[in-house]
A and B are shown apart, each in its own frame.
Chain A
Amino acid sequence: MKKFTLKPLPGDHLHLVQPHHLRIDYRKELNDAQYEAATSVNGPHLIIAGAGTGKTRTIVYRVAYLVELGVKPDAVLLLTFTRKAAQEMLRKASMLLDSRCEQVSGGTFHSFANSVLRRHAGLLGYEANYTILDQTDAEDVVNLLRTRLKLDTRERRFPRKETLFDIFSRAVNTLVPVPEILAADYPQYLEQLTDIRMLQEIYVRYKREHNLMDYDDLLLNLARLLKEHEPVRLTLSDRYKYLMVDEYQDTNRMQSEIVRQLAMKYRNVMVVGDDAQCIYSFRGSTIENILSFGDQFPDCRVIKLEENFRSTQPILNLANEILRRGTLPAPPEGEAG
């Protein structure tokens, strides 16, 4: 049967409730910057939330605000770093407004990736019942291959499974070439570079042939799926019209690519984070993501939360000074202050 799809009218899903009928007094509960962030609805937003400035509170109120406005709860996707963080925020939002907020889709990038890949694994040549390898599993697979290739009985000592997996995972996450990783942390194995690379290739192939994905694969494969299969991307975009990402300064390159793809159609994306607190580059997070968000979404609104609710002013003065003395001079274009 042929199908005819009606195009949605602009704002179809929005403003079903008039702002003056809102149940929560957002103005009273939040300071100016928080209010501005929490009540922003459409378009790309970058919330720079300094330490102790009520970042979680702002996200919670924004979830409530969207739901109160009449956005379907499951059209909101909240991606966080731990499952607990997402649960906690949605629980607070539910207490604030009502149980509708529990219908909001929340979780980690990995859990979201898994839920999508289970439905579309076939498109990438996987079966839907692929097995997820946690770190220990992945190390065991590496070890199996290491032994099978007789790398364990060479004259020279070959890296242990934990080391090998660390090297492979960092190469995927940071894009730093294997020789550089070796030079920096495991110089004693530089001579075995060829074998290490061969093992890496075989590991990748083995996972594919045996329907296995490690944690990095979940993100890699979701990013690939979104890039190479437009219908899937559009379906997901239609489903999750409002995307929120917490701790954006700690995302890696695959995660920012996923965000970019998902937000491409409706552009309703709010990322929250603090570039000054990006401290996990050794795990593959890249400060570039938060700093270049404005390039990906040139019309994005930048809102800064600077009122701190934690420390005394003398402590904040010192913290401000430590940052100010950094060697990074020019703020991004379009940056007001």
Chain B
Amino acid sequence: MRTYTKELYTRKDGGQLPQLVSTENENMQSRYVVQKILELREQGIPLEEMAVLFRSSFHSFDLEIELTRANLPFRKYGGYKFIETAHVKDVIAYLRVLENPRDVVSWNRILLLIDGVGPRTAEKVVDDILKKRVGLATEFKEAVTATTKFWMDYGNYPDNIRSLFTMLKQVAAPSVPPAEKAFHVMQYYEPILRARYDDHLKRRKDLETFQNITERYKTVDELLTDLALEPPTESVADIEAPGPEREFLTLSTIHSAKGLEWSVVFVIYALEGRFPAMRAAASDAEMEEERRLMYVACTRAKQHLIITYPMNVYDRESGLILTKPSRFIEGIGENLLEPWVVET
């Protein structure tokens, strides 16, 4: 294969070196990006002039949570927002009913996920839960624990519903940390994921990210609160409403950023195994397309280009720990790309 060589140049003078920032792990990457954005915003660069770009939609999930926490509004292009994806919503629904057994919406969702359970059965079970079980739970506001009467007599339910209850009961105790709850939920959910989504291999990556996120939380309550802080879907009226509070940051896959430009561009997850994606290694043509993606990402930046990668990411699919920067930037001289390390 051949190519047209070209050498881009500008007649403008000056400009800072692009930066390569390594962080200890994924969450530090997110926190670094958030702080840097806040800093640049204080320097007078509006959020509209900043973008965070990534190879795959799931790469920004952790960042989305940190942005929400820092009250930084963003719009995401190319791929769904993390908590809007159906399978992530499914998993969250299991955790929600444990926290709040009156959450009818979540009960309905997880009951309908069961093979053979239709709207009518679901309604009957939810009715039973509300009238009998929740009524019997000792304290009104308290989460369902393993010992309350909530779990009484669920053996009468049909098999498939019973196994849902067994799973929930197993992890209901408040002493079970969020990550362990999530782990059991996902084991239970695995066959459902397979059956419902033809692209379940891709979606599993999102759930791995979710699992990683849960590991940072001590209680399910905190976890759910952070996830719920996500602003509700904007109506057209919201988008068009005037006022200074309309500022927003752009999050985008590189594919969706083509042809666009921003003063500040972050390229996150420039991590070998994520960007290039693991599967690209199988073919030279795919690998070269990944390289062009990196090129497209970098050429979106007008003033500041910041490339980041977390150094310690466990890839569940391959069982590998990913530690190296993307091959597209690894070994590039400091005269072209300034290395930075993030400390705590």
Binding site for B on A (CB under 8 A): 48, 50-53, 157, 159-160, 162-163, 185-186, 188-189, 275-281, 287, 290-291, 302, 304, 306-323, 325-332, 335, 337
B10 in contact with A321 (CB, 8 Å): no
B2 in contact with A291 (CB, 8 Å): yes
Given contacts A306-B7, A307-B9, contact A314 B289 (CB under 8 A): no
Indicate if B288 sits at the interface (CB-CB under 8 A). yes
Instruction: Knowing that A51-B299, A315-B18, A319-B299 touch, tell me 14 more A-B residue pairs with CB under 8 angstroms.
Output: A51-B8, A307-B10, A309-B10, A311-B302, A313-B14, A313-B15, A314-B17, A316-B8, A318-B18, A318-B332, A318-B336, A319-B298, A321-B336, A331-B4
A312 in contact with B254 (CB, 8 Å): no
How close is A315's CB to chain B, nearest CB, in angstroms?
5
Indicate if B6 sits at the interface (CB-CB under 8 A). yes
28 A-B pairs in the complex with CB atoms less than 8 angstroms apart: A48-B4, A51-B295, A52-B8, A185-B199, A276-B4, A279-B292, A311-B299, A311-B301, A311-B305, A312-B10, A312-B14, A313-B14, A313-B15, A314-B16, A315-B302, A315-B305, A317-B336, A320-B7, A321-B336, A322-B291, A322-B332, A325-B291, A328-B1, A328-B2, A328-B288, A330-B2, A331-B3, A331-B5
A308 in contact with B328 (CB, 8 Å): no
A275 in contact with B3 (CB, 8 Å): yes
B289 in contact with A278 (CB, 8 Å): yes
How close is B284's CB to chain A, nearest CB, in angstroms?
7
Indicate if B220 sits at the interface (CB-CB under 8 A). no
Indicate if B198 sits at the interface (CB-CB under 8 A). yes
Binding site for A on B (CB under 8 A): 1-18, 194-195, 198-199, 201, 254-255, 258, 261, 284-289, 291-296, 298-299, 301-303, 305, 328-329, 332, 336-337
Residues of B contacting A53 in the complex (Cβ-Cβ under 8 angstroms)? 8
A312 in contact with B9 (CB, 8 Å): no
Q: In the complex, A321 Cα to B284 Cα: how many Å?
A: 19
How close is B65's CB to chain A, nearest CB, in angstroms?
28
A315 in contact with B2 (CB, 8 Å): no
B292 in contact with A310 (CB, 8 Å): no
Residues of A contacting B16 in the complex (Cβ-Cβ under 8 angstroms)? 312, 314
How close is B299's CB to chain A, nearest CB, in angstroms?
4
